[in-house]
Amino acid sequence: MNSPSSAYRILCVVGARPNIMKMAPLMAALRAHGETFDPLLVHTGQHFDAAMSGQHFEVLGLPAAAINLGVGGGSHASQTADVLRRFEPVLDAHRPAAVLVVGDVNSTLACALAAAKKGAPVIHVEAGLRSGDRGMPEEINRILIDQLSDLLFASEPSGVENLLREGIARHRIRFRGNVMIDSLQNHVLLAPPAADILGTYGGELMAGSEGGYGLLTLHRAANVDEAEVLRDLLDTVAQLGSRLPIVFPVHPRTLESIRKYGLEHLLRQPGVFQLPPLGYLEMIGLLKDARLVLTDSGGIQEETTALGVPCLTLRENTERPVTVHAGTNTVVGRERAAILAAADSILLHGGKSGRIPPLWDGKAAERIAADILDWLRQGQQ
């Protein structure tokens, strides 16, 4: 392990696209401390194609990963096992002062577990989020990661409450804000306007529509892995498309299910405009200019709240309740009538105005880096 007089080597782990957005401001904040930190980026390869991962490094200012585990796809068990097996030698080779993990994907859990077993301190950013639904693989990951972690940074007040309720010692918990919003604020002015993005893909008429457009993202297993659920959601979106054009960048997992179940015709309905997976700046551009957003993504619930855009979450719960209590988000579930009624209310009345949650000010990573330095210097007390 690092001596107090040398730079603190921090292994910074990313695996999936949302991890990259969260890690970018953290790496920048660690590097801003000069030679105090020696951050080393580890990419597990959980998202391994350019559309879902590679292009984001350059846009977000992340250096190329120093280590790529090359895990790729697979079941939850095989993916987690592969990361564990490949990350352990990295720990042996680098003997870090700490391992920094973000979010709740399989890579986050596997690297936290490997580090804990090797005695390397684990720092978890975005700790304490809970949906209460253990049917979500991410929920299981969140609970286990937090129990393995030594220093836990919550992104909203509910995270602190959840961790305390689960027996995490108060001195290990910090509330320093939301690094996802750091990335958003750092890049929102660089995002192209929606008209330019849609025009690139042949949606000029939609981009110029006086009524605007809605934006849809869909990728959660509960929504896309079962034929009947996916069919009903896409049919509901097609109905909504008769009221408001819907722009739909289709996640690779979702497209695979659509093809598997023979639902391609629902992407060709009037008012539904299919796009390929988009880069980070393009997604921000579409989010900020949308009249409403429909999603099952946790990160997009946060981004729409920060941007003041009405959001309908197509799930029965959310692990980010501050986006509902303070922000622009409404959890509507998967029932057609509820989705259409909520969308109509937004189109008629404008939806929630919301407010920015506490410490979502674009400086969370700076506060986290300062806390990590104090914690390491004090011997991880």
Residues marked as catalytic:
219
DSSP, res 354: -
Contacts of 248 (CB under 8 A, 6+ apart): 215, 216, 217, 218, 237, 267, 272, 273, 274, 275
CA distances, 171 to each of 33, 152, 233, 371 (Å): 24, 9, 44, 12
Task: Give the dihedral of Cα atoms 353, 359, 364, 370; nearest 10 deg.
Answer: 180
Alpha carbon distance 334, 228 (integer Å): 11
Rounded Cα–Cα distance for residues 371 and 242 (Å): 51
Can you read off the two tokens belonging to residue 19?
């991890």
Distance CA 21, CA 306 (A): 15
Cα end-to-end distance, the chain, whole Å = 16
Query: What is the Cα–Cα distance from 233 to 230, expressed in whole angstroms?
Result: 5
- As a whole number of angstroms, the distance between CA 247 and CA 273 comes to 5
Whether the CB-CB separation of 367 and 182 falls below 8 Å is answered with: no
Question: How does DSSP assign 246-283, residue by residue?
Answer: EEEEPPHHHHHHHHHTT-GGGGGSTTEEEE----HHHH
Q: What is the three-class DSSP state of 101?
A: strand
Burial of 171 (C-beta count, 10 Å sphere; 0-12/13-18/19+): exposed
Structure letter (DSSP) for residue 330 = E
Instruction: Give the max Cα distance, the chain.
Output: 65
Closest Cα partner for 214 from 323, 302, 320, 344? 344
